[in-house]
Structure 1
Amino acid sequence: MKIGSIDVQPVLDGVGHERSDALTRPGVDDPWACHPGQVEADGRLHFDLGGFLIRTGDRVVLVDVGVGGISNDSYTGGDFLDSLRGHGVAPEDVTDVLFTHLHFDHVGWATRKGEIVFPNATYRVHAADWAHFVESDEAAPGAVRKLAPLRDRLAPFDADDTIAPGLDARHTPGHTPGSTVYVLSGDDGQRALLLGDVVHSVVELAEPDWQAVFDVDPVAASAARNAIADEVRDGPDLVVGAHFPGLRFGRVVTIDGDRRFRSL
């Protein structure tokens, strides 16, 4: 897909499943009754996993790098590098790896067995997430093992930042301390927002008072989610969450007075 002269493509890695009560509407026993098509027969939610490939000028950029080569009852990955090669890109070609945040299902291919997977890339993330997931005394050992090898290639930012022409980082804390939305701005005025886990499910764009158990600060996360949904509502801007079906973009529209997500 083109945003002006910028090319952006999904890079699929695998699938995840979580209990439906991971996304809740406070005070409502069965919030999914209004969205039965979003829940699988076993009562779980389906999340696609992967990232996005952006080509702009001479930059080859990844936004998030999937869950990695794991397989269990909840998460299965392993397709990311093959998907990337399907777009004509080898790991050595990648110039930048951007993280929306540092949860395990977004950093899976950052390193493998202690070795950096994209050896020529600069790795970028908000400093608040690096502090929380890697430098904190309470950091999970698995996260430290996965991410610590990136230190010498890390370029953290601590405010909204321009990564490349037409590619900007916007700090949106709540899901995690350094949660970041990446905004693509084409030379034709078109914009696309890569939301990461600011929005886990398309339903959250329709339901302003829902919360996710994954959010470090549910109130801030909900505020960030609603602010972005209202910013793009009924406009030309495209949005995509990190786990939307097929990692497909769409728009937030108003139907019968309510927000809805309409995929392309």
Structure 2
Amino acid sequence: MKVGDLNVQPVWDGDARVRARDVLTPPGGDEAHWECNAEHFTAAGEFEMALGGFLIRTGDQVVLVDAGLGPLSARGFHGGHLLDSLTALGVRPADVTDVLLTHLHGDHTGWTALEDRPVFPNATYRCHAADWHHFVDGPQPDRRTAAKLAPITGQVELFDTDLTLAPGIDARHTPGHTPGSTIFVVSSGQHRALLLGDVAHSPVELLDAGWETVYDTDSPAAQAARARLIDEIESDGTPVASPHFAGLRFGRVLAGTTSRRWLYLDH
């Protein structure tokens, strides 16, 4: 996806498939929403998600946004391809200068460290302080996440305000999915695009903010964040992507007379 002079490239790690009704609840519990949005699910009622991240070369920095699931297969989630995908883009682990984490769930941190070593030895790992406190060093940390991220502790830089992290890449705190969930705004000249993390897992969540997902830490806050986001991207046509959207593709929310529509972009 070209954003002005910047190129945002998908970095595929794998795929996931779960029963949609196990993880999503339609607005107001109205069953009609399933039929209206059937195109976003399989004929068997499954929710297919990509796993991975995005690569951006900007200035002298090689930036990876989110680090996939890692070489794991469990409960319908299958990863393991991110490093091969980077190789196909001409990038070695040692080339990556920055790893920006939208949040600290395991399907976004899988390739941060392996075998007690950082996967990206020369990178600075950056995430919002609220997520680090929630998952790693707070009063009730998630032990699995804390153990996973322990090898990168010396390379972590936390932020607690919206700021520029690299030329053309800005962090926007968007809590709800997790306390520190962050959207990364990519901009160049008059062009911009948003990397959403899990502010939305599926385009259906951008068509109606009333959808709920079991993955959100604070559902009301997550819905409010999506509502604000929808208003923004519907009004100005900003392209957005999540590492869970099909093919890690960007798309736009289009206003309609009675309902919104989602349009995937070809480039």
| Fold shared by both chains (TM-score > 0.5) | yes
Does the alignment pair 1:8 with 2:8? yes
Does the alignment pair 1:206 with 2:220? no
Residue of structure 2 equivalent to 1:216? 217
Instruction: Note the residue ranges of structure 1 that are not aligned, 5 or more in a row.
Output: none
Partner of 2:260, secondary structure, is strand
Structure 1 counterpart of 2:20, one-letter code = S
Once the 2 structures are TM-superposed, how far is the Cα of residue 222 of structure 1 from its aligned partner? 0.7
Deviations 1:100-144, CA, capped at 9 Å, x for gaps: 000000000000111100000000000000011111242222111
Residue of structure 2 equivalent to 1:225? 226
Identity %: 52
More deviation, 237-246/85-94: 237-246
TM-score (norm 1): 0.95
Residue of structure 2 equivalent to 1:107? 109
Residue of structure 1 equivalent to 2:250? 249
Deviations 1:18-45, CA, capped at 9 Å, x for gaps: 2212111233246422222322244321
Residue of structure 2 equivalent to 1:50? 52
Residue of structure 1 equivalent to 2:262? 261
Matches within 5 A, 1:115-194: 115-187=117-189, 189-194=190-195
Residue of structure 2 equivalent to 1:76? 78
Tell me, in whole angstroms, the C-alpha distance in 2 between the residues paired with 1:30 and 1:112: 44
TM-score (norm 2): 0.94
Partner of 2:216, secondary structure, is coil
Partner of 1:198, secondary structure, is coil
Once the 2 structures are TM-superposed, how far is the Cα of residue 213 of structure 1 from its aligned partner? 1.2
- Asked whether the equivalents of residues 14 and 81 of structure 2 are also in contact (C-alpha less than 8 Å), the reply is yes
For residue 89 of structure 2, the aligned residue among 72, 75, 87 is: 87
Instruction: Note the residue ranges of structure 2 that are not aligned, 5 or more in a row.
Output: none
Structure 2 counterpart of 1:6, one-letter code = L
Tell me, in whole angstroms, the C-alpha distance in 2 between the residues paired with 1:17 and 1:163: 33
Distance 1:30 1:147, change over 3 A: farther
RMSD of equivalent CA atoms:
1.4
Runs of 4+ in 1 over 4 A off after TM superposition: none
Structure 2 counterpart of 1:90, one-letter code = R
Distance 1:72 1:42, change over 3 A: farther
Aligned residue pair count? 263
Tell me, in whole angstroms, the C-alpha distance in 2 between the residues paired with 1:183 and 1:72: 31
- Asked whether the equivalents of residues 237 and 254 of structure 2 are also in contact (C-alpha less than 8 Å), the reply is no
